[in-house]
Chains A and B, each alone.
Chain A
Amino acid sequence: MTDKPVLTLRDLSIEFPTPKGLVKAVKHLDLTIQKGRRVGFIGESGSGKTTTALAIMQMLAEPGRVSSGTIDLAGIDVLALSEEEMRQTRLSRIAYIPQGAMNSLNPVMRIEPQLWDGIIAHEGHVVEAELKRRSDEALASVGLPHHTAQLYPHELSGGMKQRVCIAMGIILNPDLIIADEPTSALDVVTQRQVMQTLKDIQAKIGSGLILIGHDMGLMAQSVDELAVLKDGELVEHGTVQQILEAPEHPYTQDLISSVPLVGGESFLNPERQADAPKRDSTEPLLRFDTVRKDYGDVTALHPLSFTLQGDTPQIISIVGQSGSGKSTMGSIMLGFNEPSQGKVLYEGQDVYNMSAAQSLAFRKNVQAVFQDPYACFNPFYRVNHALKFPFKRFGLAKSEAHTQQAMEEACAAVGLDPDLVLSRYPHQLSGGQRQRLIVARALMLSPKLLIADEPVSMVDASLRASILSNIYDLKDKYGISILYITHDLATAYHVSDFVMVLYKGHVVEAGPPKEVIGDPQHPYTQLLIDSIPWPDLHRSWGHTGGEWDPEAKEAAARRADMVFRGAVPGFDLVAG
Chain B
Amino acid sequence: MTSQDHVPMTRAEKRQAKRIRRFDNPWMNPKLLWGVGLLLGIIALGLIGRVLWDPELVFTGSAPLKLPPVGFENLRRQEGIWDYPLGTDGGGRDLLALIIIGAPNTLFVGLLASLIGMSIGIFLGFSAGFLGGRTDDTIRVLADVMITIPPLLILVVFQSAFGDVTLTMMALLIAGFVWQSPTRLIRAQVLSMKQSGYVQMAQLSGASTGHIMFREMLPNLVPYLFGSFIASVTTSIVTAVGLEVLGLGPQRIPTLGRTIYEAINAGALIQNLWWWWGIPTLLLAVMFIGLLLINLGLDEVSNPRLRKLS
Please give the residue numbers on chain A whose beta carbons come within 8 Å of chain B beta carbons, in ascending order: 17-19, 21-24, 62-63, 334, 336, 359-360, 363-364, 367-368, 370, 372, 374-381, 386, 389-390, 393-394, 438
Closest 6 CB pairs of A and B: A375-B197, A390-B205, A380-B219, A376-B197, A363-B206, A378-B198
Excluding A63-B309, A372-B197, A378-B219, 5 further A-B contacts by CB distance (< 8 Å) are A19-B23, A24-B1, A378-B198, A381-B219, A438-B201
How many Å lie between the Cα of A334 and that of B203 in the bound state? 10
Q: Does B216 contact A (CB under 8 A)?
A: yes
Rounded to whole Å, the gap between the CB of A453 and the closest CB of chain B is: 10
Interface centre among B2, B197, B205 (most CB of A within 10 A): B205
B21's closest neighbor in chain A, by CB? A19
Q: Which residue of B lies closest to A377 (CB)?
A: B198
Complex alpha-carbon distance, A63 and B20, angstroms: 12
B196 at the interface (CB under 8 A from A): yes
Contact B220 A389 (CB under 8 A): no
Question: 15 A-B contacts, Cβ less than 8 Å apart?
Answer: A19-B21, A63-B309, A368-B200, A368-B204, A370-B197, A375-B197, A376-B198, A377-B201, A379-B220, A380-B219, A386-B198, A386-B205, A390-B205, A393-B207, A394-B206
The answer to whether A363 touches B198, judged by C-beta atoms less than 8 angstroms apart, is no
> Shortest Cβ distance from B188 into chain A, in angstroms?
18
Write out the residue numbers on chain B whose beta carbons fall within 8 Å of the beta carbon of A359: 206
User: Does B83 reach chain A (CB closer than 8 Å)?
Assistant: no
Contact yes or no, B206 A360, CB < 8 A = yes
B202 within 8 A of A: yes
Residues of chain B lying within 8 A (CB to CB) of residue A378:
198, 202, 216, 219-220
Contact partners of B204 in chain A: CB under 8 A: 334, 363, 367-368, 390
Q: Is the beta-carbon distance between B207 and A389 smaller than 8 angstroms?
A: yes
Query: How far, in Å, is B223 (CB) from chain A's closest CB?
Result: 11
B20 & A375 in contact (Cβ 8 Å cutoff): no
Residues of A within 8 A of B220 (CB): 378-380
Which parts of B1-47 form the interface with A (CB within 8 Å)?
Answer: 1-2, 20-21, 23-24
CA distance A438 to B197 in the complex (A): 11
**Distance between B230 CB and nearest chain A CB, rounded to angstroms:** 21
- How far apart sit A423 and B204, CA to CA, in the bound complex (Å)? 22
User: Cβ of B206 and Cβ of A376 under 8 Å apart?
Assistant: no
User: Across the interface, do A390 and B219 meet the contact criterion of CB distance under 8 Å?
Assistant: no
Interface positions of B (Cβ within 8 A of A): 1-2, 20-21, 23-24, 196-198, 200-207, 216, 219-220, 309
For residue A45, give the distance in angstroms from its CB to the closest CB of chain B.
Answer: 19
Closest to B216 in A: A378
B195's closest neighbor in chain A, by CB? Answer: A375
Query: Does the CB pair A389–B205 fall under 8 Å?
Result: yes
- Identify the closest chain A residue to B201 (Cβ): A376
Taking a contact as CB atoms under 8 Å apart, the answer to whether B198 and A19 are in contact is no
A389-B197 contact, Cβ under 8 Å, with A63-B309, A378-B216, A380-B220 = no
State how many angstroms separate the Cβ of B103 from the closest Cβ of chain A: 37
Secondary structure of the B side of the interface?
helix
Question: Are B205 and A363 in contact, CB atoms less than 8 angstroms apart?
Answer: yes
Interface centre among B1, B197, B206 (most CB of A within 10 A): B206
The interface centre, meaning the residue of B1, B198, B200, B203 with most chain A CB atoms within 10 A of its CB, is B198
Pick from B23, B196, B206: contact of A390, CB under 8 Å: B206
Q: Which residues of A contact B21 (CB under 8 A)?
A: 19
- Chain B neighbourhood of A374, CB < 8 A: 197
Q: Chain B residues with Cβ under 8 A from A336's Cβ? A: 200, 203
The interface residues of chain B lying within 8 Å CB-to-CB of A18 are 20
Which B residues lie within 8 Å of A17 (CB)?
A: 20
Chain A residues, Cβ within 8 Å of B1 = 21-24
| Beta-carbon contact of B196 and A364 below 8 Å | no
Q: A375 to chain B: which residues have CB within 8 Å?
A: 196-198
- Cβ of A334: which chain B residues have Cβ within 8 Å of it? 204
A368-B197 Cα distance, complex, nearest whole Å: 11
Chain A residues with Cβ below 8 Å from B24 are 19
Bound-complex Cα distance A191 to B302 (A): 39
Closest chain-A Cβ to B78's Cβ sits at a distance in Å of 60
Residues from chain A with a CB closer than 8 A to the CB of B309 are: 62-63
A365 to chain B, nearest CB (A): 11
* Chain A residues in 8 Å Cβ range of B202: 378, 389
CB-CB under 8 A from B200, the residues of chain A are: 336, 368, 370, 376
How far apart are the CA atoms of A259 and B205 in the complex, in Å?
Answer: 33
Q: Which residues of B contact A360 (CB under 8 A)?
A: 206
Which residue on B lies nearest to A451, using beta carbons? B204
What B residues does A389 contact at CB under 8 A?
A: 202, 205, 207
Smallest beta-carbon distance B280→chain A, Å: 42
State A234–B85 Cα separation when bound (angstroms).
Answer: 75
Closest B residue to A390 by beta carbon equals: B205
CA distance A12 to B185 in the complex (A): 47
Give the CA-CA distance A200 to B105 in the complex, in Å.
76
In the complex, residue of chain A having the shortest beta-carbon distance to the beta carbon of B221: A380
A447 to B, closest residue via Cβ:
B204
Which chain B residue has the least Cβ–Cβ distance from A366?
B204
Query: In the complex, A367→B203 CA distance in Å?
Result: 10
Q: Is the CB of A22 within 8 A of B205?
A: no
How far, in Å, is A378 (CB) from chain B's closest CB? 4
Using CB atoms, name the residue of chain B closest to A378.
B198
Q: Complex formed: what's the CA distance from A360 to B204 in Å? A: 9
Q: Across the interface, which residues of A come within 8 angstroms of B23, CB to CB?
A: 19
Distance to closest chain B CB from A424 (angstroms): 15
Q: For the complex, what is the distance from the CA of A336 to the CA of B199, rounded to whole Å?
A: 12
Bound form: Cα–Cα A115–B196 in Å: 38
- Find chain A residues with CB under 8 A from B197 CB: 370, 372, 374-377
CA distance A367 to B198 in the complex (A): 14
- State the Cβ distance, A403 to closest chain B Cβ, in Å: 14
Chain A residues near B201: list those with CB within 8 A: 370, 376-377, 386, 438
Which of B2, B198, B203, B219 is the one whose CB lies under 8 Å from A22? B2
Asked if B20 contacts A364 (CB within 8 A), the reply is no
Contacts of A377 in B (CB 8 A): 197-198, 201
- The answer to whether A19 and B207 have CB atoms under 8 Å apart is no
How far in angstroms is the closest Cβ of chain B from A34? 33
A433 to B248, CA, bound (A): 62
Chain A minimum-CB-distance residue to B2: A22
Q: Which chain A residues lie closer than 8 Å to B219 at the CB level?
A: 378, 380-381
Q: Residues of A contacting B196 with CB < 8 Å?
A: 375
B269 to chain A, nearest CB (A): 52
Determine if A393 and B198 form an interchain contact, defined as CB atoms under 8 angstroms apart. no
How far is it, in angstroms, between the C-alpha of A363 and the C-alpha of B216 when the chains are bound? Answer: 18
Chain A proximity of B1: nearest CB distance (Å): 6
Query: Which residue of chain B has its CB nearest to the CB of A21?
Result: B1
Which residue of chain B has the shortest Cβ distance to A381 in the bound complex? B219
Interface centre among B197, B201, B309 (most CB of A within 10 A): B201
How near does chain B come to A130, taking the closest CB pair, in angstroms?
Answer: 43
**Chain B neighbourhood of A379, CB < 8 A:** 198, 220
What's the least CB distance linking A423 to chain B, in Å? 18
Q: How many Å from the CB of A84 to the closest CB on chain B?
A: 24
A23 to B20, CA, bound (A): 14
- Inter-chain contact B205/A19, CB cutoff 8 Å: no
What's the nearest-Cβ distance from chain A to residue B24, in Å? Answer: 6
Q: Which residue of chain B is the closest to A379 with respect to CB atoms?
A: B220
Chain B proximity of A210: nearest CB distance (Å):
27
A69 CB to closest chain B CB (Å) equals 15
Point out the residues of chain A lying under 8 angstroms from B198, CB to CB. 375-379, 386
Q: Which of A19, A370, A380 contacts B20 (CB 8 A)?
A: A19
Task: Give Cα A234–Cα B292 distance, bound, in whole angstroms.
Answer: 50
**Known pairs A63-B309, A376-B198, A378-B198; A393 contacts B205 (CB<8 A):** yes
A386 CB contacts on chain B under 8 angstroms = 198, 201, 205
CA distance A393 to B210 in the complex (A): 14
Closest Cβ–Cβ distance, residue A113 to chain B (whole Å): 31
A406: shortest Cβ distance to chain B, in Å? 15
